[in-house]
Amino acid sequence: MRYLSTRGESATRGFSDILLEGLAPDGGLYLPERYPQIDAATLAQWRGLSYADLAHAILSRFITDIPADDLRGLIAKTYTAEVFGGDARIAPLKPLKGDPGMALLGLSEGPTLAFKDMAMQLLGNLFEYALARQHAELNILGATSGDTGSAAEYAMRGKRGIRVFMLSPFGKMSAFQTAQMYSLADANIHNIAVQGVFDDAQDMVKAVSNDLDFKRRWRIGTVNSINWARLAAQIVYYFAGYFQATRSNGEQVSFTVPSGNFGNICAGHVARMMGLPIRKLVLATNENNVLDEFFRTGLYRPRKSAETHHTSSPSMDISKASNFERFVFDLLGRDARRLNALFSTELQQKGLFDLSADPAFSKVGTEYGFASGSSTHADRLATIRSVWQGSAMLIDTHTADGVKVARAHQEPGIPMLVLETALAAKFPETIQEALGVAPPRPACLEDLERRPQRFAVMPTEVEAVKSYIAMHCTTGATVV
Ligand SMILES: *Cc1c(COP(=O)(O)O)cnc(C)c1O
């Protein structure tokens, strides 16, 4: 399997070549040259596989440059009951009694209680393997306001050849999120508490990444959501959900996905393109409804960061979804010239593009199965309450956005699976506001805030972060 860039100006590459990279050299995103097609016989064979075996069956179609036994080993050690939820099955379906035909797909039983663990844990093992093969090291630099940073740290902790330098806004995260990251004692994890807000931390990371000499010298990398391996790992649970919700391959299901950077639902799009019988892919946003607007009208108008709403489903507070270009590329029949005209010309010049009159846009629902909706803080509170009352289940704020939108798109006879992107325990303030009680927490995290914390406080100066990195990379960028 080779990978091409959506902007069409970079040569195709293998999986292992793009594994440690972000954007393609031409500024585009990587996608498989063509999607593997899964016929009915194969689909029937996959029904009944364990999660790890299913993951291997699917990912081996996309990863053809790692020896089969090695890949099987990496996947087997990632998707264990130990990492993902004690002795329960991985990605379980949880029916909502109060909403017949609807169920949650449980993706948040990993170490950080959010679905990002499902892909990030595999990424940690793939990175360690690839770096060992190249006799190389990698320093992962990132900025986080909570979820992504902790998922990355828990995936990379203790991994050989990898260090993580994660910048976070000092004193601006919840006590839970802070403790989750800062209590990690692994020598390769560096928490840097920046004396500023998230955007300051983000700017520092960008400034370091723009210094190409520094970047090359210290082998700086990232683990952001455009990474193809993360997306590939997310394809697996669409199949796992489908098999649990149906008895035979003649049946269809729909999925609703609480969305931010469009990574999670893009994996659903790929699963559908591979032939998984998905009827609808319903995109749910919060008040930051750029993508809902696009799927309803054809107008794509990303907001400026100052216009981004800070909501009670903060991991969806995104105004420019970094994976959206992947879907538009397919929608335009993979016409890289048109894609370039939209993303590198129109968007840059006008700040928007409009496909409402384009024949391609009329295929969004019919051919690609997309639908959408959005939610507000009041909707989230009401949905958390109604799911608690009707189904005796606690859902988090992001999943609540999903359930709210899913209800408007349910069809008789078609199971509707809502991706559970985090557990309620992560967002106790809003649960308290909705129900008057705090959500319970997994027993292993009971003492989280009382554990010793390890972090360095830093002013918002680029030079400070650079010298910190240099000081803590004793071996630096040596490629042996
Ligand atoms: C990251 C995240 C999302 C958004 O996922 P995307 O892949 O960026 O669309 C939704 N909910 C939670 C809890 C998240 O952490």
Q: Residue 146: its pLDDT value, please?
A: 73
Q: Residue 202: its pLDDT value, please?
A: 86
Closest atom of ligand 1 to 261 CA is: 8
Task: Give the residue carrying structure tokens 């991706």.
Answer: 419
In a domain, residue 255? The reply is yes
Number of domains the chain is built from? 1
Cα–Cα nearest to 108, from 92, 125, 96, 95? 92
Instruction: State whether the beta carbon of 259 lies less than 6 angstroms from ligand 1.
Output: yes
Residue 320 has phi, psi (to 5 degrees) of -135, 100
Beta bridge partners of 142: 166
Strands (E), 217-319: 220-221, 253-258, 278-285, 299-300
Instruction: State whether the beta carbon of 149 lies less than 6 angstroms from ligand 1.
Output: no
Low-confidence ranges of the chain (pLDDT < 50): 476-480
Q: With a threshold of 0.85, does the pTM exceed it?
A: yes
Cβ atoms of residues 193 and 161 within 8 Å = no
Whether 116 is a known active-site residue: answer yes
Q: Letter for the amino acid at 277?
A: P
Closest atom of ligand 1 to 399 CA is: 11
In a domain, residue 23? The reply is no
In a domain, residue 83? The reply is no
398 Cα to the center of ligand 1, angstroms? 8
> What value does the CA radius of gyration of the chain take, rounded to a whole number of Å?
21
CA 418 to chain centre: 15
Range of the domain at 416: 93-113+228-435
- Helix (H/G/I), strand (E/B), else coil: 286: coil
148 Cα to the center of ligand 1, angstroms? 9
Query: For a substitution probing ligand 1, which of 116, 256, 431 has the most ligand atoms within 8 Å of its CB?
Result: 116
- Helix (H/G/I), strand (E/B), else coil: 256: strand
Q: Residue 476: its pLDDT value, please?
A: 44
In a domain, residue 321? The reply is yes
- CATH classification of the domain holding 374: 3.40.50.1100
Instruction: State whether the beta carbon of 420 lies less than 6 angstroms from ligand 1.
Output: no
In a domain, residue 125? The reply is no
In a domain, residue 159? The reply is no
Q: What is the distance between the alpha carbons of residues 113 and 107, in angstroms, rounded to a whole number?
A: 8
In a domain, residue 44? The reply is no
Q: What is the distance between the alpha carbons of residues 302 and 289, in angstroms, rounded to a whole number?
A: 9
How do 93-95 and 102-106 pair as beta strands? Answer: antiparallel
Out of 116, 159, 280, 426, pick the active-site residue: 116
Which helix (H) or strand (E) segment is 190 a member of? strand 189-194
Instruction: State whether the beta carbon of 258 lies less than 6 angstroms from ligand 1.
Output: yes
Instruction: State whether the beta carbon of 261 lies less than 6 angstroms from ligand 1.
Output: yes
Q: Residue 245: its pLDDT value, please?
A: 98
Q: Residue 209: its pLDDT value, please?
A: 86
131 Cα to the center of ligand 1, angstroms? 28
In a domain, residue 363? The reply is yes
Residue 60 has phi, psi (to 5 degrees) of -70, -15
